[in-house]
Amino acid sequence: MKIAHKLIALFIFSPMLIIQVCAGQDNNTFTNPILEDGADPYVLLHEDGYYYFMATRGNRLDLWRSSELTQLETVTPKTIWSPPEKGPNSCCIWAPEIHHIEGKWYVYYTASDTVDEGDHSRGVFVLENENKNPIDGQWIDKGRVNTQYSGIDGSVFQFADRLYFLYSPYVNDHSDIAIATMKNPWTLNEDESILVVPKYEWEKTDDRSILEGPMFLEGPKDEVFIVYSGGACWDDNYSLGMLAAKKEADFLQADSWTRFEKPVFKMSKENKVYGPGHHGFTTSKDRRANWLIFHAKSKPEVGCSKRSSRLQRFNWDKDGRPNFGIPWSLDRVIQKP
């Protein structure tokens, strides 16, 4: 009887607690999305123990700093940069990424010119911050990356003491995946090369054939990977594709990379996940668990709107290649990183 009385009192005075328990959630679990308005998410787990997160805002660059990646909705981001009224980076601020390179912070973002907006004027731009905490300090505009083509979705990675740049160039009527080495964090060497162009039907739409959002991932064995988005954000079939290369290979050579014919992560009608893509990778703080962050939509045929940031764990298969599985339902209760 005493137990019954306690349960009745708990229900009367703490109805939200009852709802939470019934849903199977506690302080060690979460449900997606981690950010409702979260297109093109990117996250970096830094050595200071904080997750630094960015997503497309269109008219500014916002930066989140959180000890828990699953608590982004409770964190107030800081606007670290707003575009000028005119100029080559004055509008359409997309797909920002934050990186820590040789003791300094860099943000790479896509922008266009407000008086000449369009794919022909899009480029990747860089900001630099010397402060230990990127939330503070001054962000210096380092200008536009000297890519061969107009393009979007710049990303960098370091491997074997070399700094590389990836992006999605606009070439004729399609978008590709290109790579180059870097002289410094804002300047490319003259060795840019295109690795792949749209080839498979799932990489094509009626409007344009698109490969974009390339992201580097190092495997636990003898391979590295470039995971990219194929299709378009307005298409429910937007999916992730993958390239693999040996760690000792020349990454600038297209024939160093093996291309996977089918998507490695795609729409799940059963789980009501549409257009999963434009992703990033991170780990738990102990570096033992690997996590995929991506955006997706909960309803079909809504174009590029209503993209939310989601997080789910992935594993490695016996060959040391990533196994992303299928997109999880928003009803799934997940153990926190």
Strand ranges for 145-235 from DSSP E: 151-159, 162-171, 174-175, 177-184, 187-188, 193-196, 209-218, 223-230
Show pLDDT as tens, one digit a residue, over the chain (337 residues). 334 443 333 333 333 333 333 344 568 999 999 999 999 999 999 999 999 999 999 999 999 999 999 999 999 999 999 999 999 999 999 999 999 999 999 999 999 999 999 999 999 999 999 999 999 999 999 999 999 999 999 999 999 999 999 999 999 999 999 999 999 999 999 999 999 999 999 999 877 899 999 999 999 999 999 999 999 999 999 999 999 999 999 999 999 999 999 999 999 999 999 999 999 999 999 999 999 999 999 999 999 999 999 999 999 999 999 999 999 999 999 999 8
Strand ranges for 67-150 from DSSP E: 78-81, 91-101, 104-112, 123-129, 140-144
Residue 182 pLDDT = 98
Q: Specify the residue for token string 């107030």.
A: 76
Is 319 part of the annotated catalytic residue set? Answer: no
Is the CB of residue 265 less than 8 Å from the CB of residue 324? Answer: yes
d(CA 3, CA 15): 17
Number of H helices, E strands in the chain: 2, 24
Is the CB of residue 234 less than 8 Å from the CB of residue 304? Answer: yes
Residue 213 pLDDT = 98
Q: Is the dihedral of CA 336, 264, 38, 50 positive or negative?
A: positive
Catalytic residue among 40, 192, 203, 236: 40
Residue 25 pLDDT = 52
How many Å separate Cα 277 from the centre of its chain?
8
Distances (CA, A) of 11 to 2, 16, 26: 14, 8, 17
d(CA 255, CA 261): 15
Residue 187 pLDDT = 98
Is 212 part of the annotated catalytic residue set? Answer: yes
Catalytic residue among 128, 212, 235, 236: 212
Percent helix, strand, coil in the chain (nearest 5)?
10, 45, 45
Residue 207 pLDDT = 78
How many Å separate Cα 250 from the centre of its chain?
25
Is the CB of residue 30 less than 8 Å from the CB of residue 336? Answer: yes
Helix (H) or strand (E) holding 54: strand 51-54
Residue 205 pLDDT = 85
What lies within 8 Å, CB to CB, of 326 at 6+ separation is 265, 266, 268, 271
Crossing angle (nearest 10°) for helices 2-13 and 15-22: 100
Nearest to 178 by CA among 161, 153, 209: 153
Q: Which domains does the chain have, with CATH numbers?
A: 31-335 (2.115.10.20)
The DSSP result for 258-301, as a single string, is EEPSS-SB--BTTTTBEEEEEEEEEE-TTS-SEEEEEEEESSSS
d(CA 109, CA 152): 8
